[in-house]
Each structure stands twice: as C-alpha cells, then as structure tokens.
Amino acid sequence: MTIPLAAAVAASVLLLLAAGAKAGRSPWRPLQTVLSSARISSMSVAEVESLLEEIEEAPEAPTVYGAMCYDCAMPPLVTEYLCPACGEKTVYADSDFSRPLQELGITRELFEALEQAAGLDLALDESGFCSFCGSGGVAVPLLVITYSDGTVVRTPVCPEDLRMLIGLFSGERFYESTQDFILPLKPESGHLRSVLGLPGGVEAGSPAD
C-alpha cells in the first residue's frame, strides 16, 4: 500500500467537516452507517404517486439560470471511507470512488433536509462503502424508503437526486440545483419514479417511452 494514509485521512475528514460548516450547520454526528428517520407513519405508494402525477400534468416550471462557474479546478481525490459505525478506514485505489466519497458530506446534509420535507420513513444506507462492517466495494449510498404498507425500496442516490426529491416533497414543480440553478421537475419525473420505486420509471429495465 503506497497511499500516504495519514495525509489522506486528514484531507478527507477536513473536507467532510468543511462541507458541514459551509452550510452553516453543525458537523454531522456520525453514529451508524444507516441513518434513519424512524417515523411512526409513512406516506403510501399512492400518495407519492399522486404527487408525481401533479408534476407530470402541470405545466413545466421555467428554468432559472444560476451562476455559471468556469473554474474547473479538479476536486481533491478522496480515496478513503472513514466508517462512522465501526471506525475503520476503507481505502479505495479505484478513482470511481473519489466523487461519491467527496460528496458524502453533502449527501448526508441533503438526506437530513429530505427527511424534514417528506412524510416518509427514510434511511440513508452507506454501509456499502465500508469493507469491515458493510459489504465494501459499493461506490453509491442507497436511499431506503419504507412505504405505509411495508413495501421497502432501496435505490442508489446522488446529491442531485436528493435535491429533486426535496423539491417534489416540498410541493414544488421545480428544485434547487447547484450554483443557484432552479430546474423543472417535470423532465425528471421518469427518473424520480425509478428512485421512488414507482411504476413508469426510466431505469431498471423499463422502456423510456
């Protein structure tokens, strides 16, 4: 192993803490690899379905253009997952892991915001990153949704997916993307159906049209 461990650890921990501090929130309190809202009651599949139908039937919200940032500096290479549950570090040589690891701080924050917005029993499962107490070798966190009838849906999510869901469950026809862009939800409805495990999704083998 030739990766300078101490330097990589310090860099990634600082990065995650900075992500929390920048948004004006206290740093995320790591307790376990599965964050859960543990709600007493959750929305039903039909209720979520009707939210999506409203988006699909309403006129598309206009796009609001945000700041165009041409500073394309490469983000720091994050290669390590520090597990909040067992405290062990999993080091990845595969650069496919760098971006999801770098985005983990913002993913956790957006998940917490989604929990506030949605009346759903939700969990964020990042155990795939840890090769000690989890499966390891999985570069994507999973959003776990338990509907009111007990149906459980587990789908990979990125920060942009969570931003879309926050918009949807806030009752908007748009969502706040990065760099102050406001984007319509309507073109994303097929993708959102996939993320929410509803029929008509554009992924998981269903035809797009």
Query: Given the rule CB under 5 A, which residues bind Zn ion?
Result: 83, 85-86, 130, 132-133
List Cβ<8 Å contacts ≥24 apart for 92-99.
92/139, 93/3, 94/139, 96/139, 97/129, 97/139, 99/75
In the bound state with Zn ion, the residue whose beta carbon lies nearer, of 35 and 185, is 35
> Whole-angstrom Cα distance, residue 14 to residue 40?
36
At closest approach, how far in Å is the CB of 8 from Zn ion? 17
Helix axes 104-117, 5-22, angle to 10 degrees: 30
Strand partners, 121: 146
In the bound state with Zn ion, the residue whose beta carbon lies nearer, of 130 and 185, is 130
CA 120 vs CA 77, 145, 150, 165: distances in Å: 34, 7, 12, 11
In the bound state with Zn ion, the residue whose beta carbon lies nearer, of 34 and 182, is 34
At closest approach, how far in Å is the CB of 125 from Zn ion? 12
At closest approach, how far in Å is the CB of 13 from Zn ion? 15
Length of the chain: 209
At closest approach, how far in Å is the CB of 81 from Zn ion? 8
> Whole-angstrom Cα distance, residue 148 to residue 45?
7
CA 147 vs CA 38, 111, 116, 121, 123: distances in Å: 12, 17, 16, 7, 12
At closest approach, how far in Å is the CB of 137 from Zn ion? 13
Residue nearest to Zn ion (CB): 83
In the bound state with Zn ion, the residue whose beta carbon lies nearer, of 133 and 153, is 133
Dump strand ranges (E) for the chain.
34-36, 80-82, 89-91, 121-125, 142-146, 152-156, 174-176, 182-184
At closest approach, how far in Å is the CB of 105 from Zn ion? 17
In the bound state with Zn ion, the residue whose beta carbon lies nearer, of 83 and 118, is 83
In the bound state with Zn ion, the residue whose beta carbon lies nearer, of 36 and 44, is 36
